[in-house]
Amino acid sequence: MTDNDRIELARQRAAQVRLMIFDVDGILTDGSLHFGPDGEVIKSFNVLDGHGIKLLQQSGVATAIISARQSAIVTRRATDLGIMHVQQGIHDKRRAFEQLLEQTGIPIQACGFIGDDVIDLPILTRVGFAASVPNGHPEVRQRVHYVTQAGGGRGAAREVCDFILRAQGNYAAALAPYLA
């Protein structure tokens, strides 16, 4: 299969996405954990990623977070972005995903997920559209439909959002308010 064939297959899968799920560490952040003087974890988020998630939501795609780590800052970021489904402190991501499917009623083939490590494989190997980042674990990168050019916390989530918007024919409409 050529690279063009892979991209086309990924586009076809992305066109079906009605729920896009994001891992946090290594996807919405660069995966680094910084600790403040009182032991609190400090994470950095990319504003381009956040706006991409908002554009995706405005096009009718629901969004969710499933993360193995528990963090108040992730709750805050999800609230700021209007992400309604947030599951944190979850090490059994398969079970969390199954619960999310039950809550939303969205079929598995209409779900997308972007993750970077082997803990994400139980979701990545089941969804209709699976994505990762260039610095993701090799076992993950070889099993997904799409690997971003941008790294985690450096625009990877935005790239995936734009990819989905384009695949669904909604990219121009998403940009239209900014070009008027």
| pLDDT tens-digit map of 91-142 | 899 999 999 999 999 999 999 999 999 999 999 999 999 999 999 999 999 9
| Residue given tokens 């600790």 in the structure block | 35
Which structural domain, as residue segments, surrounds residue 104? 3-175
Distance CA 46, CA 32 (A): 13
Decide if 180 is inside a domain.
no
How large a percentage of the chain has pLDDT more than 90?
A: 84
137 close to 117: Cβ distance less than 8 angstroms: yes
- Domain membership flag for residue 90: yes
Residues 6+ apart with CB under 8 A from 4: none
Overall domain count for the chain: 1
Confidence class of residue 62 from pLDDT cuts 50, 70 and 90? very high
Residue with tokens 């992400």, as numbered in its chain? 83
20 pairs with which residues across the strands?
A: 63, 112
Tens-place pLDDT, residues 150-175: 999 999 999 999 999 999 999 999 99
- Is 64 contained in some domain? yes
For the segment 75-83, the average pLDDT, to the nearest whole number, is 96
DSSP code string of 97-161: HHHHHHHH---GGGEEEE--SGGGHHHHTTSSEEEE-TTS-HHHHTTSSEE-SSPTTTTHHHHHH
Q: Beta 34-35 vs 41-42: how paired, if at all? A: antiparallel
User: Which pLDDT band, with edges at 50, 70 and 90, does 1 fall under?
Assistant: confident
140 inside domain: yes
Predicted TM-score (pTM) of this structure: 0.95
CATH of the domain at 11: 3.40.50.1000
Q: Across all residues in the chain, what is the average pLDDT?
A: 94
Asked if residue 112 belongs to a domain, the reply is yes
> What confidence tens digit (pLDDT) does each residue in 8-45 have?
999 999 999 999 999 999 999 987 777 878 777 778 89
Q: Can you give the pLDDT at residue 172?
A: 96
